[in-house]
């Protein structure tokens, strides 16, 4: 029904503002599914129906490769029967473990972080992305894959680690024809959020914007003909888009710096100023985007940070500040 080495896109509805997510069926030596939609009955129905259009049934899928751990990319795993090879970055493993302690630790970490950011307690309910029921429980990670690994059953494709949008993020790159299956690392019409996450090792939280910028720059060094993204249409010439994204982020950081030149601020105060509407509906994304700029400015020594009564306060560096 479709040719060997073709990358076939299946678009599945999700109950998020972005509306749908893409998964890809790749027929190499094995039949591989890249990413696995959201855990809803509707998503599964659409997936089954669209598979049928290319002459396949879910049982034909031999392995699933996950680009990152977000619920809209892994949830459908739960609907697959029987054994399934599931591959992804090692940091993805706990998200498939259904380990209540892991999710509790996540919540504790975020509640503490929100306090430091001066976010009112009433926003604690916004941590619903950590709702255990969104995550699959029937298929653990069977093998972890990392930078440079070749994928069994998918000749030509290797793994590139791209942390930033998620700590577990990878993309799959085919050196022969320069095609890339990109997950949420780079989307054409929307910029990917560098989402805040708990540290997996040590106590320092990751700084996702800084990681994200490095992961974007990494792609500037390799030729890419086409990107098959986790959301919306495939696109060409991603290098131009990458430069554009890096420039825009720098500009956003300068806007934040201007606010901090006027007054010292908490993360929440700054977040409300930057995202006067979005912070109410999508707090975690608005906060992540705010902290992203602060991490960036801090890296370049442009801001001061102090803590008062457990709350972080940021201000612009003045001439003469250390
Ligand atoms: Zn994502």
Q: What is the pLDDT of residues 166-215, one digit of tens each?
A: 999 999 999 999 999 999 999 999 988 899 999 998 889 999 999 999 99
Instruction: Quote the DSSP letter at residue 192.
Output: P
pLDDT the model gives residue 124: 81
Protein residues within 5 Å, CB atom, of ion ligand 1: 70, 184
Q: Do 276 and 215 fall within a single domain?
A: no
Q: Does residue 197 form part of some domain?
A: yes
CA 40–ligand 1 middle distance (angstroms): 17
Residue-wise pLDDT tens digits, 6-19: 899 999 999 988 89
With respect to residue 186, please indicate whether it lies within any of the assigned structural domains: yes
The alpha carbon of 268 and the centre of ligand 1 are apart by a number of angstroms equal to: 23
The rounded Å distance from CA 166 to ligand 1 centre is: 7
Are residue 225 and residue 198 in the same domain, yes or no? yes
Q: Which two tokens stand for residue 64?
A: 């699933």
Max intra-chain CA distance, the chain:
69
Tell me whether residue 79 is in a domain. Answer: yes
Of 189, 209, 236, the residue at which a domain comes to its end is 236
Tokens of 86: 């599931």
CA 192 to ligand 1 centroid distance, Å = 8
Q: Which residues contact 44 (CB under 8 A, 6 or more apart)?
A: 37, 76, 79
Fill in the DSSP letter of residue 28. S
Q: Look at residue 130 in the predicted model and tell me its pLDDT.
A: 81
Ligand 1 centroid – CA 230 distance (Å): 8
- Specify the residue for token string 């990107």: 227
Per-residue pLDDT at 2? 67
User: Same domain for 187 and 228?
Assistant: yes
DSSP letter (8 states) at residue 87: E
Domain containing residue 196: CATH number? 3.60.15.10
Instruction: Tell how far the Cα of 4 is from the centroid of ligand 1, in angstroms.
Output: 28
The answer to whether the beta carbons of residues 135 and 75 sit under 8 Å apart is yes
In angstroms, what is the span from residue 322 Cα to ligand 1's centroid?
38
As a whole number of angstroms, the distance between CA 201 and CA 112 comes to 17
Of 145, 280, 299, 316, residue with least CA distance to 212:
299
277 and 200 within one domain: no
- Taking the centre of ligand 1 as the mean of its atom positions, its distance from the CA of residue 71, in whole angstroms, is 8
pLDDT at 131: 87
User: Please, are residues 60 and 47 in contact by the beta-carbon 8 Å criterion?
Assistant: no
Residues in the chain: 322
| CA of residue 313 to ligand 1 center, whole Å | 29
Residues 19 and 43 in one domain: yes
Give the pLDDT of residue 225.
96
Alpha-helical runs (H) found in the chain: 41-53, 71-74, 100-116, 208-220, 238-262, 267-274, 278-281, 283-299
CA of 309 to the centre of ligand 1 (A): 34
| Cα 81 to Cα 117: distance, rounded to the nearest angstrom | 43
Q: Which residues, other chains included, contact 241 with Cβ-Cβ below 8 Å and sequence gap of 6+?
A: 186, 188, 235
Q: Does 143 lie in the same domain as 123? A: no
CA distance 223 to 238: 9
- Which residue numbers in the chain have pLDDT < 50? none
Nearest C-alpha neighbor of 195 from the set 113, 138, 261:
113
Residues 217, 308 within the same domain? no
pLDDT at 318: 84
Distance of CA 15 from the midpoint of ligand 1 (Å): 14
């Amino acid at each position: 029904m479709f040719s060997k080495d073709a990358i076939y896109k299946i678009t599945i509805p999700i109950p998020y503002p972005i509306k749908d997510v893409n998964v890809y069926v790749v027929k190499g030596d094995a039949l591989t599914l890249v990413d696995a939609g959201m855990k809803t009955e509707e998503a599964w129905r659409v997936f089954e129906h669209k598979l049928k259009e290319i002459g396949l049934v879910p049982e034909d899928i031999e392995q699933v490769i996950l680009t990152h751990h977000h619920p809209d990319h892994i949830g459908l795993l739960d609907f697959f029967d029987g054994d399934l090879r599931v591959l992804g970055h090692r940091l993805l493993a706990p998200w498939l473990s259904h380990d209540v302690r892991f999710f509790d630790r996540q919540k504790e970490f975020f509640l503490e972080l929100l306090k430091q950011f001066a976010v009112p307690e009433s926003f604690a309910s916004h941590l619903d992305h950590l709702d255990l029921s969104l995550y699959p429980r029937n298929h653990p990670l069977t093998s972890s894959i990392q930078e440079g690994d070749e994928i069994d059953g998918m000749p030509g494709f290797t793994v590139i680690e791209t942390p930033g949008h998620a700590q577990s993020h990878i993309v799959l790159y085919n050196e022969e024809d320069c095609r890339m299956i990109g997950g949420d690392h780079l989307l054409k019409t929307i910029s990917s959020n560098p989402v805040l996450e708990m540290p997996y090792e040590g106590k320092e939280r990751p700084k996702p914007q800084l990681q994200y910028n490095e992961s974007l720059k990494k792609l500037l060094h390799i030729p890419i003909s086409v990107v098959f993204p986790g959301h919306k249409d495939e696109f060409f010439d991603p290098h131009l888009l990458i430069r554009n994204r890096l420039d825009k982020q720098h500009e956003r950081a300068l806007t934040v710096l201007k606010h901090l030149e006027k007054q010292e601020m908490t993360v929440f105060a700054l977040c409300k100023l930057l995202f006067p509407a979005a912070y109410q509906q999508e707090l975690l994304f608005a906060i992540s985007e705010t902290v992203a700029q602060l991490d960036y400015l801090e890296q370049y020594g442009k801001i001061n940070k102090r803590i008062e009564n457990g709350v972080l306060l940021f201000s612009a560096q003045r001439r003469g500040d250390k």
